[in-house]
Amino acid sequence: MKIAVVGMGPAGAYLSALLADNYDIEVFEMQNKETFSSICAWGTGYYKMEELLKDVGLNFDDYVIHRGKELYVDLKNRIFTVKLYGLSTFNKPKLLKDLVSKVKVNYGKCIRSHAVREAFELVIDATGIYRALLPPVEGEDFLIPTVQYLVKFKHPPFDDFYVKPFKSYSGYLWFFPLDNGYAHVGAGDARYGKYVYEVLAFIKRYNGEVVRKMGRPLRLTPPSLATPHYINNIIGVGESVGTVFPLLGEGILPSMMAAKLLKDNIDRPKRYSEVLKSRFKRFEDAFRFVKLKMEGRNLMHFAILALKLHRYFKANRDHTGVDPSILDTLKVLKPF
Ligand SMILES: Cc1cc2nc3c(=O)[nH]c(=O)nc-3n(C[C@H](O)[C@H](O)[C@H](O)COP(=O)(O)OP(=O)(O)OC[C@H]3O[C@@H](n4cnc5c(N)ncnc54)[C@H](O)[C@@H]3O)c2cc1C
């Protein structure tokens, strides 16, 4: 079968690697090869990534930049630490390029027209936020704006990961360490327009030098609502169908996990759509939690959802990379 994979993010690149031996795969990526990168803080859970990469013959240690031990959480300028379980930054563009090394890649090709549908038996929409080939999300598509800077610090302010949740859990500011004094510093925020100012103030306070500015919206709509997942011979995978954990904005591993579900159901789109919804059911709770907090809704909802989410963190620490105690979870989810 001839398959076009449109988009070379974690979803498209990992799916291509999984299918490379059994199908005729062609990847289309709108960025150029020389400047190819990924607007992302490059943070991920070591253990799940190690497991998924083994399946395609790659070793995650070849890509790790910083392996975290503790997360500094800043609540109203009081900092406490949460134990990490493998949260690491890694060289994401290098990994994505290596994942597609066995298939034909067309860089610099922005696919918008449906002509590609006629040339291939199956077309994968792995274009993330754009959903370039799938129709728009049927209901409300919940996107939050983000901004991020690659920053060089002479004296990095933290030796590990740092986050500062915003009021009403409308988003957070992050400092994700890379190597040689570099870090990604950014923020996403659904309600308060101040986040750009907060990031710039953070960089200034610690004498950082901005090397590059980037940003794009992030889709928080979970898979159960980011429908349709397929139409005609087009199937979506990754952030295009909502595989971002709404509480953390974590989308790398969930998008690769979705690619695995698609690989197992490549000729059964209806079944794929069902397993996708069921595998990421907890994303709906996280999405409801974020919306309730933003709307300032009642404490009863907060307690029940916070407990469910705590259980989720415990069961999925291999990919979230964090291992909070129940008190940590309640403290972090409370703001303010
Ligand atoms: C600022 C920021 C920081 C983040 N930090 C993290 C983090 O630290 N950890 C984490 O787990 N998640 C993070 N995320 C989320 C994560 O980056 C995404 O959810 C994840 O990369 C989604 O993977 P994907 O393959 O579905 O889509 P993407 O990674 O968005 O990849 C889509 C690809 O498709 C290409 N493309 C788009 N349209 C077309 C077209 N028409 N034709 C051809 N190519 C096209 C794009 O150039 C891109 O390469 C962050 C997101 C943002 C915005």
Q: Is 144 in the pocket of ligand 1 (CB under 6 A)?
A: no
For a mutational test of ligand 1's pocket, the pick from 127, 243, 250, i.e. the residue with the most ligand atoms closer than 8 A to its C-beta, is 127
pLDDT at 219: 97
pLDDT at 282: 92
Amino acid at 272: Y
> Atom 30 (ligand 1): residue with closest C-alpha?
128
Q: What is the pLDDT of residues 13-46, one digit of tens each?
A: 999 999 999 999 999 999 999 999 999 999 999 9
pLDDT at 225: 97
Please list the ranges in the chain whose pLDDT falls under 50.
none
Whether the CA torsion 223, 224, 225, 231 is positive or negative: it is: positive
Q: Which domains does the chain have, with CATH numbers?
A: 2-65+89-142+219-283 (3.50.50.60), 144-218 (3.30.9.10)
Ligand 1 center–CA 77 separation, angstroms: 31
- Helices 299-315 and 281-294, packing angle to 10 deg: 140
Ligand 1 center–CA 220 separation, angstroms: 13
Ligand 1 center–CA 24 separation, angstroms: 24
| Structure tokens given for 20 | 């490379």
- Burial class of residue 250 in the structure, from the number of CB atoms within 10 Å of its CB (0-12 exposed, 13-18 middle, 19+ buried): buried
CA angle 311, 312, 313 (to 5 degrees): 90
pLDDT at 283: 95
pTM of this structure: 0.97
For a mutational test of ligand 1's pocket, the pick from 89, 120, 252, 319, i.e. the residue with the most ligand atoms closer than 8 A to its C-beta, is 252
> Atom 38 (ligand 1): residue with closest C-alpha?
127
Torsions phi, psi for 64 (to 5 deg):
-65, 135
CB 183 within 8 A of CB 173: no
